[in-house]
Amino acid sequence: MCGIVGAIAQRSVQNILLEGLKRLEYRGYDSAGMAIFDAENTLQRSRAMGKVAALEEKLEQQSLKGQLGIAHTRWATHGKPSEHNAHPHQSGDKLAVVHNGIIENHEALREELEGQGYVFTSETDTEVIAHLLSREYDKTQDLLTAVQNIVSGLDGAYALGVIHADQPDTLIGARKGSPLVVGVGIGEAFLASDPLALLQVTDRFIYLKEGDVVCLRPEGSVQVFSEQRETVSREVITFEHGDGAASKGNYRHFMLKEIHEQASVIASTLEGRLGERHVLTHCFGADADNLLGQVKNIQIVACGTSYHAGMVARYWIEKLAGIPTQVEVASEYRYREVVVPEGTLFVTLSQSGETADTLAALRYAASKGGYLASLSICNVPGSSLVRESDLCLMTQAGPEIGVASTKAFTSQLIAMMLLTLSLRMVRQGDDQVQADIVAALRGLPGLFEKGLAMDSAIETLSAAFAEKHHALFLGRGPMFPIALEGALKLKEISYIHAEAYPAGELKHGPLALVDNDMPVIAVAPNDELLEKLKSNLQEVRARGGELFVFADENVHLKEGEGIHIMRMPAVEEHIAPLLYTLPLQLLSYHVAVLKGTDVDQPRNLAKSVTVE
Ligand code: G6P
């Protein structure tokens, strides 16, 4: 998704902006651009299709010298990816703007502006903002006021960075619906969609709130105004994760690095949250026991991989805490007339905390009323979701850069197991079931390390998939969402069409597709559904399908023609979904590497989906 970087300093900003764009590459984009005022306050702009490296090449030919600038990576929404649609957009030769989000009333605004003689050079919704600002600046002669005056007329979502040649000591930012942070420097100040973009220059950030407009000055002063135009003070938060997170270290791709980090991520997400035999329920807040005790129903809402974590959690919560649970993708939930059963806890799951549909779902739930409370499980402190939820539990995955989510997913599963066990604890007190799962959770980082030893075997196996066009993933019970996640990973990064089915549903359709060109991947831990799954696998074999089964080392399954068995370390059955995610991640990774795709930034996808 689009990324914004802005800088106002007493030194040259080109390389700061360029480095910022590189650090935002993980979000997904198709073009990049930059605008800087030179010493004579002339607006210089450079834009390029494709990677930031293409922009960098242009800047090597002709650098942009100056101390105030804005830059952008664009993920096309209105108008195809092209240089003329790339940001920054200008109105005349004095004003430039970068934008993340979607302006829904852009057509009407464009018509009005064209009627007044404004000439458009792109198909983007953003260009209307540039012209609106220019028109308003001509009236007010003040950039801050101009921004404050026009934003109320924008429907939809925006994060903005704006500069004007007549005010070379001012960088304006504004946000509503799309994320924007201020990087607080020493004698300089910055804007970005994500703190990661600025860690090379500062670790102190202000997370702007909905409707905020901010005015940055070259000596580093930061003035924030609320939507009501009152001067407000916003907390400066020190970013906790080290800068190392934004580098690949010795790994070929961020995705592989992040897969390998999962053992330590699990340990961090559990840290301080486990007692000897049960979860320390106050990890959900001081009053958690009281609140969790009142929960009669749970509604989980999320998107993408986070939705799959929610699906696993439903099996856990209903089985272990006895609480009816619904899970829904946020884009459906937010537009549905929902009926809220009494005592419902509203839970959102999100890596970024900025996913537009998930945020909108939370706001819809809040406006609807009737929920007991909202809880967000999130990986980014200070994100919109965290700020707007009543309670939150932070996953400790650290920054995740690969677009295909891996370590964030496992940390979300851990968080949901903590919630499940807390709900059980407040209902029936300490018991052996909790003690067993808690012990198993403690052992999980070790099992992940063991599981990673399968890497080279899975790499060999991946050759069987690289030439295929389709793949089918099967699982039962809580392993069904794991099959879904395995299929999602494969399609996201290798572009192989992959589907997942609950194995029992095989004969109601997908069996018709099975032949020796369709590899079938099954996840088979040693659980109560194993025997059922085995019968389903026979159904596949009988139709000539080639089976790849990740199975518990103690499960009796015979390798044979067309049946490949990969042995997994034995694991307590409730937490098997966590461990069985690992080989599926590795499989999709190696298939993608063999196919030569852009593993960390797969085509058409974005890390942080900040538009609906
Ligand atoms: C995008 C990402 C996925 C992610 C989903 C939800 O599609 O590519 O990896 O699962 O958004 O994002 P969230 O930040 O809300 O977990």
Closest CA to ligand 1's atom 2: 607
For the CA of 358, the closest atom of ligand 1 is 15
From the candidates 2, 215, 283, 392, give the one annotated as an active-site residue: 2
Q: What is the DSSP string of 209-255?
A: PTT-EEEE-TTS-EEEE-TT--EE----EE--S-GGGGS-TT-SSHH
Give yes or no: 607 in active site: yes
Calculate how far, in angstroms, residue 351's C-alpha sits from the geometric centre of ligand 1: 7
Which residue minimizes the CA distance to atom 5 of ligand 1?
304
Contact 194, 179 (CB under 8 A): yes
How many angstroms is it from 86 CA to the middle of ligand 1? 24
More confident residue, 540 or 63: 63
Nearest Cα to 547, choosing from 532, 528, 560, 531?
560
Tell which residue, 325, 266, 272, has the closest CA to residue 301: 325
Q: Is 22 designated active site? A: no
Ligand 1 interacting residues, C-beta cut-off 6 A:
303-306, 350-352, 355, 358, 403-405, 605, 607-609
Q: Which two tokens stand for residue 599?
A: 């593993």
What's the whole-number mean pLDDT along residues 499-520?
A: 90
d(CA 258, CA 605): 18
Choosing from 51, 257, 407, 607, the catalytic residue is 607
Q: Which atom of ligand 1 is nearest to the CA of 606?
A: 8
Q: What is the pTM of this model?
A: 0.77
Q: How far apart are CA 87 and CA 34, in angstroms?
A: 7
Exposure string over 132-167, b if 16+ CB within 10 A, otherwise e:
bbbbbbeeeebbbebbbbbbeebebbbbbbbbbbeb
SS3 341: coil
Per residue in 27-71, pLDDT tens?
778 899 999 999 899 999 999 999 999 999 999 999 999 999 999
Among 26, 303, 401, name the best residue to mutate to test ligand 1's pocket (greatest count of ligand atoms within 8 A of Cβ). Answer: 303
pLDDT over 60 at 242, yes or no? no
Task: For residues 514-537, give the mean pLDDT.
Answer: 87
How much is the average pLDDT of 533-544?
Answer: 83
Q: How confident is the model at residue 25 (pLDDT cuts 50, 70, 90)?
A: confident
pLDDT score of 589 = 97
Residue 590, judged by CB atoms within 10 A of its CB (0-12, 13-18, 19+), counts as buried
| Å from CA of 562 to ligand 1 middle | 35
Residue 588 pLDDT grade (very low, low, confident, very high; cuts 50, 70, 90)? very high
Residue 581's CB is within 10 A of a number of other CB atoms, namely 29
Residue 246 is predicted with a pLDDT of 65
The whole-angstrom separation of Cα 260 and Cα 270 is 17
Note whether 31 and 50 are within 8 A (CB): yes
**Among protein residues, the one whose CA lies closest to atom 7 of ligand 1:** 304
State the distance from the centre of ligand 1 to the C-alpha of 404, rounded, in angstroms. 8
Higher pLDDT, 466 or 326: 326
Pick from 177, 179, 145, 184: nearest CA to 162: 145
Mean per-residue pLDDT, 136-141: 97
Ligand 1 centroid – CA 456 distance (Å): 28
Neighbours of 242 (CB within 10 A): 12
Atom of ligand 1 nearest to the CA of 352: 14
Q: Which two tokens stand for residue 311?
A: 């699906």
Helix intervals (H) in 246-352: 254-260, 262-270, 288-294, 304-316, 330-333
User: At 322, phi and psi to the nearest 5?
Assistant: 65, 30
Give the 3-state secondary structure of residue 280. Answer: coil
**Sheet of 391-394, strand order:** 325-329, 297-302, 344-350, 373-378, 391-394
Minimum mean pLDDT among 297-301, 363-367, 463-467: which range?
A: 463-467
Query: Is the distance from CB of 396 to CB of 245 less than 8 angstroms?
Result: no
* For range 413-442, the mean pLDDT: 96
Spell out the long-range contacts of 271-277 with Cβ–Cβ below 8 A and sequence spacing 24 or more: 271/396, 273/418, 274/438, 274/441, 274/442, 275/438, 276/435, 276/438, 277/430, 277/434, 277/435, 277/438
- The reported pLDDT for the residue numbered 505 is 92
**Distance between Cα 383 and ligand 1 center (Å):** 14
Mutate to test the pocket of ligand 1, among 409, 411, 608, 610 (most ligand atoms within 8 A of CB): 608
pLDDT for residue 562: 87
Q: Which of 609, 610, 611 is the pocket-test mutation for ligand 1 (most atoms within 8 Å of CB)?
A: 609
Q: What angle do CA 328, 323, 333 make, to 5 degrees?
A: 15
